[in-house]
Amino acid sequence: MSRVRRTRVALAALTAAGLALTGCAAQYTGGGEGPLKGARIAFGSKDFTEQRVIGQIAVQYLRDQGADVWDQTGLVSSEAVRGSLERGDIDAYWEYTGTAWITYFGHDEPIADADEQFDAVAREDARSRDADGKPKPSIRWIDRAPLDNTYAFAIRADKAKELGVSKLSDLRALLDSPKGKDLTFCIESEFANRPDGMPGVQRTYGFQVPRNRLRRLDTGLIYSQTGNGTCTFGEVFTTDGRIKGLNLTVLDDDRQFFPRYNAAISIRAEVLREHPQIERLMRPVARRLTTAQLQVLNARVDIDGVLPEKVAKEWLQDEGLVD
């Protein structure tokens, strides 16, 4: 899964996304009886597996609650979806707190506490004007989920047991020991230079990986090479389904270095004012979306080949959220 939410896209991609939304008739479906009867909601998502899954969960659940929903899941990128929300082309989508704080609002330092990070993002988006004094769209944040799709290091479960490592603070002593001399780290090229990547991790945890044991690979290769033991430690994203599928153990970020990327619903204030019950209705859904749960759901798509729509439907039924 590419980390599209962390990178800026070309203006052409934004323009294309806008045209795609405005150039065709909206297809609202669902509706019927329920607490959201009469509501019309265009719900979007980004275009990677997790976003499609949780986007479909919201689309199907809102329809079950009586809303007419236009399924706009699978848009191009973070910037495209955010732009669509600001323009009013969509009404809501699941966004990550770290993405908003760092990418949209331009802050360099993340906030370690998940609740404090969520509150800070919500306050920033609630302001009527941006830093330059220009009016900005009124956006609200509701229903933060426990899932935290952030960076991490993973290792094969059997190898973790052999080395006696379970958290990042174990690495300093391990690398200084005789059994640490041949350990390798596989990371993405971007992660190698990001302040919230390898340089910051090494500085925070007080270890240094020799250059000849630091390998730069594409994201997909990192998982497979860590899974077969070629890479001792691999840079991963915490909700990726391949973690479970390859029986990897994620090292605990015990000093809370990596930014929080909790998913929460970002929604136009106008829509929430008209239908305030959305926050109450989506709360039980959000509370069930944990990091471990998303590993399972993402694996069903990426490893088992099940469509996100089907994964979402079965999860909602299994959780007793829909009939």
pLDDT digits (tens, 9 = 90+) for 210-264: 999 999 999 889 999 999 999 999 999 999 999 989 999 999 999 999 999 999 9
Are 161 and 290 contained in the same domain? no
Measured distance CA(142)–CA(52) in Å, rounded: 19
β-partners of residue 40 are: 68
Per-residue pLDDT reduced to its tens digit, 173-201: 999 999 898 999 999 998 998 777 899 99
Backbone angles phi, psi at 153, to 5 degrees: -110, 135
Residues whose CB is less than 8 angstroms from the CB of residue 98 and which lie 6 or more positions away in sequence, other chains included? 110, 117, 150, 259, 260, 261, 262
pLDDT score at 131: 65
Alpha-carbon gap, residue 210 to 183, rounded angstroms: 10
Q: Could you tell me if 45 and 85 lie in one domain?
A: yes
Q: How far apart are CA 243 and CA 260, in angstroms?
A: 19
3-state secondary structure of 280: helix
Q: Within 88-142, where are the H helices?
A: 97-99, 114-126
Confidence of residue 19 (pLDDT cuts 50, 70, 90): very low
Task: Tell me which residue of 19, 41, 18 sits closest to 29, measured CA to CA.
Answer: 41
Among 222, 250, 278, give the residue marking a domain's end. 250
Q: In what helix (H) or strand (E) does residue 192 lie, and over which residues does it extend?
A: helix 189-193
* Residue after which a domain boundary falls, among 250, 270, 292: 250
CA distances from 318 to 30, 119, 313, 323 (A): 21, 31, 9, 9
Question: What is the pLDDT, as a whole number, of residue 205?
Answer: 97
Q: What is the residue-averaged pLDDT of the chain?
A: 90
In the predicted model, what is the mean pLDDT of residues 88-117? Answer: 94
219 and 182, same domain (yes or no) = yes
Q: What pLDDT score was predicted for residue 13? A: 41
Walk across the sheet containing 28-30 and list its strands. Answer: 28-30, 68-72, 40-44, 92-96, 263-268, 139-142
| 9 shares its domain with 118 | yes
Q: How many residues does the chain have?
A: 323
**Two tokens at 206?**
């007080």
Domain harbouring 177, CATH code: 3.40.190.120
- Which pLDDT belongs to residue 16? 40
Examine the pLDDT at 78 and tell me if it is beyond 80. yes
pLDDT of residue 23: 38
Any domain includes 256: no
Identify whether residues 56 and 186 lie together within a single domain: no
The pLDDT of residue 129 is 67
In this structure, the dihedral spanned by the alpha carbons of residues 25, 29, 35 and 38, taken in order and rounded to 10 degrees, is 40
Does residue 323 fall inside a structural domain? Answer: no
One domain for residues 178 and 304:
no
How many domains is the chain built from? 2
Tell me, yes or no, whether 239 lies in a domain: yes
Across the beta sheet with 248-250, the strand order is: 214-216, 185-187, 233-237, 151-156, 248-250
Look at residues 196, 225, 250 and tell me which one is the last residue of a structural domain: 250
Separation in Å, CA 113 to CA 117, 126, 151, 258: 6, 20, 16, 11
Cα 86 to Cα 136: distance, rounded to the nearest angstrom? 8
Domain hosting residue 50, numbered range:
4-148+262-318
pLDDT value, residue 323? 84
Quick one: 38 and 83 in the same domain? yes
pLDDT band at residue 97 using 50, 70 and 90 as cut-offs: very high
Residue 9: is its pLDDT beyond 50? no
